[in-house]
Amino acid sequence: MKLDIDKLRAEAEKELRDAGVHEKLSAWYSKFLGKKGIVRNFLASISDLSPEEKKEMGKKINLLKSDLEKLYSDAFSLVSSIKKDSQITEFYKTLPGKRPEVGHLHLITQAIREIDAVFARLGFVRVRYPEVDWDYFAFEALNMPKAHPARDEWETFFVDLPEDPKMGKVVVTPHTSSGQVREMLKAELPIRMLNISRCGRRQIDLNHVPTFYQFEGLVIDRGISISHLKGVLEYLIHNFFGKDTKFRLRPYDFRFTEPSFEVDVTCGLCGGKGCRFCKGGWVELGGAGMVHPNVLKAGGIDPEVYSGFAFGWGVERVLMMRSGIKIDDIRLLFENNMKFLEQF
């Protein structure tokens, strides 16, 4: 047998180039480098040669062998890295699938839906009114005439649009109370309104952002009293914060309610004992009160016959006050940081 090493080398290299997949690579390996492969045959066949010839040929064959081995391992890693190989495909098929990520509703949307559901059980009807509205509905109809100092509290954004002689300027609604008179003008009595909407004020710190959400309840019927207001608030607080949460009405002053209250609940962090967060054991939730007769009049309702209550609270605020959530900076809710949002 004539041992043409160069020819074999050329042949092996060519075949290796054509073996683009793992099966072909292993066939190539068996053919050239396997136990019964050509290189071994070559080695076996030189046993009859003279010692010098044997030595020389042995060297050449071993060099060929190590070259081919190197070529093979390079080809193997190349093929593996481009993952074309059907063997690899088969292997991947057996791996567990990668689950597509499923998103979820934003924390605020979840809270809005929950608040909506609680009030729906009491027969409240969810409505929405413009997020950009006339000064008239935001202030004037709510017993706050133009230039009344109480307006300052609402840190209002004014929209650069022409003023209307009767309705005034255009504002970004600074509270959902702007829906009260709109509802009175539109809806039939009795009214059980739940207005959840986006509001805007010029403010930003740990507890305030320029854009936030409020939910506003408005009930108007014959004989509505503070007891009804308390009953509804208790229902909300017990459902949203839990039965152990106590609340109190603290006298306050809003131009559109009389009497007016601020509603406090026992602190969710310390259970009302008093801590660094709440100081005296109570935390303030939001405003409430009995609808002012002037507001009823603005809505075309006779205050001699009808009475009502209203309350307006921040969605984010009640969310942050819920025990167990422990969000200490309202701005986190608006940053769209996935690491934060994914936790809820």
The distance of closest approach from Cβ of residue 314 to ligand PHE in the complex, given in angstroms and rounded to an integer, is: 8
* Cα Rg of the chain, angstroms: 40
Nearer to ligand PHE, 76 or 235 (CB): 235
Nearer to ligand PHE, 272 or 286 (CB): 286
DSSP secondary structure, 38-69, as one string: HHHHHHHHGGGS-HHHHHHHHHHHHHHHHHHH
> How many CB atoms are closer than 10 A to CB 301?
21
The distance of closest approach from Cβ of residue 321 to ligand PHE in the complex, given in angstroms and rounded to an integer, is: 16
The distance of closest approach from Cβ of residue 186 to ligand PHE in the complex, given in angstroms and rounded to an integer, is: 18
Nearer to ligand PHE, 177 or 245 (CB): 177
Strand segments, DSSP code E, in the chain are 125-127, 132-134, 158-164, 168-172, 191-200, 211-221, 247-252, 257-266, 282-291, 307-314
Nearer to ligand PHE, 107 or 310 (CB): 310
The distance of closest approach from Cβ of residue 312 to ligand PHE in the complex, given in angstroms and rounded to an integer, is: 3
Nearer to ligand PHE, 268 or 289 (CB): 289
The distance of closest approach from Cβ of residue 252 to ligand PHE in the complex, given in angstroms and rounded to an integer, is: 8
Contact 113, 105 (CB under 8 A): yes
* CA separation for the pair 162, 164 (Å, rounded): 7
The distance of closest approach from Cβ of residue 218 to ligand PHE in the complex, given in angstroms and rounded to an integer, is: 8
The distance of closest approach from Cβ of residue 242 to ligand PHE in the complex, given in angstroms and rounded to an integer, is: 24
The distance of closest approach from Cβ of residue 171 to ligand PHE in the complex, given in angstroms and rounded to an integer, is: 13
Nearer to ligand PHE, 88 or 249 (CB): 249
Nearer to ligand PHE, 286 or 299 (CB): 286
* CA separation for the pair 98, 95 (Å, rounded): 9
Nearer to ligand PHE, 74 or 253 (CB): 253
Nearer to ligand PHE, 169 or 175 (CB): 175
Contact 2, 42 (CB under 8 A): no
Contact 327, 246 (CB under 8 A): no
**DSSP three-state, residue 283:** strand
Q: How far is CA 99 from CA 76, 96, 105, in A?
A: 31, 9, 19
The distance of closest approach from Cβ of residue 210 to ligand PHE in the complex, given in angstroms and rounded to an integer, is: 14
* CA separation for the pair 207, 216 (Å, rounded): 19
* CA separation for the pair 73, 89 (Å, rounded): 20
Q: How far is CA 4 from CA 9, 61, 261, in A?
A: 9, 10, 104
Residues that bind ligand PHE (CB under 6 A): 175, 177, 216, 254, 257, 286-289, 310-312
* CA separation for the pair 193, 124 (Å, rounded): 5
**DSSP three-state, residue 194:** strand
- Determine the residue type at 313: W
